[in-house]
Amino acid sequence: MLRAGVRFLVGMTALAALVTPVAAVPLPTPGSVESTVAAMNAVTSADRDRERRSVRGVRVLGRSVEGRRIRAFHLGQPASKRRETVVLISTMHGNESATGQILRALRDAPQIYGVDLWVVPTYNPDGEARGTRRNARGVDLNRNYPNNWVDLDGNYESGAGPASEPETRAMMNFLRDIRPDRILSFHQPLYGVDVDTKRPGFARKVARKLRLPRSSFTCGGVCHGTMTGWYNNNFRGNALTVEYGARPSRRLMRKVAPVQVLSIFGARIDSARIVG
């Protein structure tokens, strides 16, 4: 991390000498460790995001209960008649964060072709920080949406009312704005793809491409307040729940699944552009 930061800083300095100095990165005083660290801290996350070649933009959807940013990274190519707009969401439940690796691998990949893609690697940052399913107020975000909302308690606590949580409202505003053709919401550990859904043919394709079993996630009867239910009932596009197992391997999450996910949409990473 430190070494990458130094390399980036050296690169920026060389670049500034050759081209016009766009970013005002404070340069370290020679020999001063403190000023070097300060300068590296000045390399903001926005700078790092610009360095990622496939990232077209970063949108802050909103903030969590504890004020953490919920970010969506815009990848791929502009939407067109032949090119779908897709949103991938991970870690809606804070203790189901393994699939965030799939989305970060896509974010950090070279250019992606064939899809207009948004990834939200960490939808519930407070839950992830605590290692809990629910958000900082103890609400299960996937029971908080204004669709068949009922007052649930315990592990499935549904909140004070429909869309009572800032994380819920942030995602609703984003999805209303983007109106994706497809949403995949990644969870763990039920290991399967929900084919008892709005577009069962597409769900079967997802199961086949990701090599996951076809399943039916019925929430023990009717699903209350789920994000996928809300989106499927209110928009033309469709949202689908994908469940990996409890401990998917790093290789599956970082190498295999990202390519499999793109293949669902006929998209690909341009590996010819990998340099250095």
Q: Which residue type does 134 have?
A: R
Q: Does 182 bind Zn ion (CB under 5 A)?
A: no
Q: What is the Rg, in whole angstroms, of the alpha carbon atoms belonging to the chain? A: 20
Please give the Cα distance from 137 to 21 (Å, whole number). 45
Q: Does 143 bind Zn ion (CB under 5 A)?
A: no
Q: Is the peptide bond prior to 121 cis by the omega test (within 30 degrees of 0)? A: no
Nearest approach in angstroms of CB 139 to Zn ion is 14
Give a three-class secondary structure readout of 205-253: HHHHHHCCCEECCCCCCCCCCCHHHHHHHHCCCEEEEEECCCCCCHHHH
Q: Does 93 bind Zn ion (CB under 5 A)?
A: yes
Site track 211-250 with Zn ion (rule: CB under 5 A), x = hit? ----------------------------------------
Nearest approach in angstroms of CB 156 to Zn ion is 11
Q: Which is nearer to Zn ion, 83 or 134 (CB)?
A: 134
Q: Does 187 bind Zn ion (CB under 5 A)?
A: yes
Tokens representing residue 98 in the block = 């393994």
Q: Does 134 bind Zn ion (CB under 5 A)?
A: no
Q: Which is nearer to Zn ion, 9 or 92 (CB)?
A: 92
Residue from 156, 163, 161 nearest 138 by CA: 156
What dihedral do alpha carbons 187, 131, 58, 7 form, nearest 10°? Answer: -120
Binding window for Zn ion (CB under 5 A); candidates: 7-15, 94-102, 167-175, 263-271: 94-102
Q: Which is nearer to Zn ion, 156 or 235 (CB)?
A: 156
Nearest approach in angstroms of CB 14 to Zn ion is 45
The residue at minimum Cβ distance from Zn ion is: 187
Please report, as ranges, the residues that interact with Zn ion according to CB under 5 A.
Answer: 93, 96, 187
